[in-house]
Structure 1
Amino acid sequence: MKNKAYVLLSLAGILWGFQPVVVKFIVAEMNPPTLVSFRYLLLSATLFLLMKITHKKDFIPPKSCWLPLIIMGITGVSLNNGSQFTGLQYSTVANATLIAAMTPAVTSLLAFVFLRERLALLQWIGIIISISGTLYLISNGNLDIILHISFNLGDILFFVAQLSWAIYCLISIRVMKKMSVLSVTAWAGVFGAIFIAIYGHFTCGLFIPDLSMKAMASFAYIVWLGGVGAMIFWNIGVKNVGASTASIFLNIMPIVGIVTASITLNEIITMEECLGAVVILLGVYITTHTKQILEKLNWKK
């Protein structure tokens, strides 16, 4: 069962790695709140249809799950998608996927704070290294920018997106003990779509413009491949191997994102991005492989 989960998590990482590229095409023609709200309305409608076809019995969530599902909608849908899609208007696909790579470290940190999971000293070192790599990346290697807190808005939004996603993952573990993957994903999508639609109505307005064929194809991708497919794959994986182990597979995203952005958008990969990527991935590896590292070094926790 774990091998199947690993395959599904890998597929989710690949689909999400390519997603920022296609989102870049859409946000040039549609504002992020409209994009996210309609994306998740279609995504959830598709999942509810699948539940009807497969005769799932947990269509209506139990009372104890309503609040967690609402929080999942706000964090994993409204904040995560809204921040990431808006960030792509100000920064690059490469930075989006590189900052996403530190999610395992952020997940471990939040698990320590909210779930009281113990972290070894080496895990703390890995978290610090990952955060340092992210600061280096979003400051473009300029210490003066860090000291004066003048980061690129897009990169800051990417960090908010990953923090929100880590919270979503931690909450989803408990909720999926009571509900199916399809039901959890669908209801979180509904709540998230509602909240970001309200936000969009009072800020930039909700409207669907006449999209080009490229934007329409990209929208279809983020709804049914990067949306329905990837989220089902991801939640099945999390349910079987846990959030911390599953988050390791997000390391696939930077590779896919950087390569595809370079090919399709002609984004230039800078030395700062390469160095930031190495530091982030090093920190992630240390955080998620602490036990194996300690065993090799014959250290005790």
Structure 2
Amino acid sequence: MRFFNTEQGVYTLLTMTAVLWGGNAVAAKYTVGELPPVTTAFLRFAAVSVILIVLAFYIEGKKCLPRREQLPGIIAMGLTGIALFNFLIYSGVKLSTATNMSLLNAVGPVTTACLAALLLNERLTLRQLAGVAISFFGVIIVVAKGSLAVLTGLSFNIGDIMLALAQVSWAVYSVIGRKVMRTMSALAATAWASVVGSLILFIIARMEGFNGTIALSFFGWVSMAYMVLGSGCLAFFWWNHGVSVLGPHRAAIFMNIVPVAGTILAVLLVNEAVSWQQIAGAMLIIAGVYLTTQSSD
């Protein structure tokens, strides 16, 4: 287990996190088709909360209980990274397109790096900044499939504004999480933030019409199980652990692996075709991640 506390171990966990989040789109495709979006997010994080709280008490005992001075940070994490982020993502994609969503997601690492520099005084080297730029360019190629017409033909609306704000919300979550996890384990911080976020999502789900009825097909339940255990419990815990070790600015670059992982999983699971432009973009993303994860000289 010591390996996962080293930089190489954390890189491994963050890469697996990106793969799990890449598969989340495939899983959510079934579930969101059967339940309203915010209700889906609430049920997902309610289950995540229960599992992580039980696990935190089992491993840490009463030490996992947050102290009074830690509560503002935990509440802020739950508000920004769980409740607000999911609300903006699910609501924004309704009014936007998958292309715009993927493109705006690529802004996340840059936003996180800027906030970390401003609030935490964590700065990237020139080599790491070059990695961010190369990875961002790779995401654009993947999204546009190498066609300039796709980018010039983009139109933006209120949904796109919500998706952009979601990236700001995630960046704030990561920066706050870095501070919280200086005095609390990643497991406990993830667990209590999930509790706060799920409570807020429950209020929104009630406004959306949720009355306690959960009608899911077999594949819907399988997808929900994946979103709870895989892209929920494991991914969020690994992400927060990565942030606590590397800092939000270096962890954020792994978010650019998500569309690559999603594309590969779509090819494997639903037989979608992949173009050479997407392969080239994926190689740039991986190269950018490699540069960004190199230690400062």
> What TM-score do the two structures reach when normalised by structure 1?
0.77
Cα deviation per residue 1:224-273 (whole Å; 9 max; x = unaligned)?
A: 11111111222222222222222233332121111223444565668997
Q: For 1:65 and 1:278, locate their aligned partners in 2 and report how far apart those are by CA, in whole Å.
A: 41
Name the counterpart of 2:28. 23
| Structure 2 residue 181 is matched with structure 1 residue 205 | no
Cα deviation per residue 1:252-299 (whole Å; 9 max; x = unaligned)?
A: 21211112234445656689978987888887777666967xxxxxxx
Shift of 1:118: 4.7
Cα deviation per residue 1:188-234 (whole Å; 9 max; x = unaligned)?
A: 111111222222323x2224441111111111111111111111222
Match of 1:162 among 167, 176, 180: 167
Match of 1:254 among 253, 259, 270: 259
Match of 1:189 among 153, 173, 194: 194
Q: For 1:87 and 1:44, locate their aligned partners in 2 and report how far apart those are by CA, in whole Å.
A: 25
Alpha-carbon RMSD across the aligned residues, in angstroms, is 3.5
User: What secondary structure sits across from 1:210 in the alignment?
Assistant: coil
User: What secondary structure sits across from 2:166 in the alignment?
Assistant: helix
| Structure 2 residue 88 is matched with structure 1 residue 83 | yes
- Amino acid paired to 2:30: F
Q: For structure 1, which runs of at least 5 residues remain unmatched after alignment? A: 293-301
Name the counterpart of 1:44. 49
Q: For 1:258 and 1:246, locate their aligned partners in 2 and report how far apart those are by CA, in whole Å.
A: 21
Cα deviation per residue 1:46-93 (whole Å; 9 max; x = unaligned)?
A: 11111222243333211121111111111110122223334454533x
Match of 1:69 among 64, 68, 74: 74
- Amino acid paired to 2:38: P
Check conservation: 2:139, 2:259, Cα contact below 8 A: no
Compare 242-251 and 137-146 and name the one that shifted more: 137-146
Check conservation: 1:27, 1:85, Cα contact below 8 A: no
| Structure 2 residue 250 is matched with structure 1 residue 222 | no
Q: For 1:243 and 1:88, locate their aligned partners in 2 and report how far apart those are by CA, in whole Å.
A: 25
Distance verdict in 2 for CA 1:252–1:125, change over 3 Å: closer
> What TM-score do the two structures reach when normalised by structure 2?
0.78
- Amino acid paired to 2:228: V
Aligned residues: 287
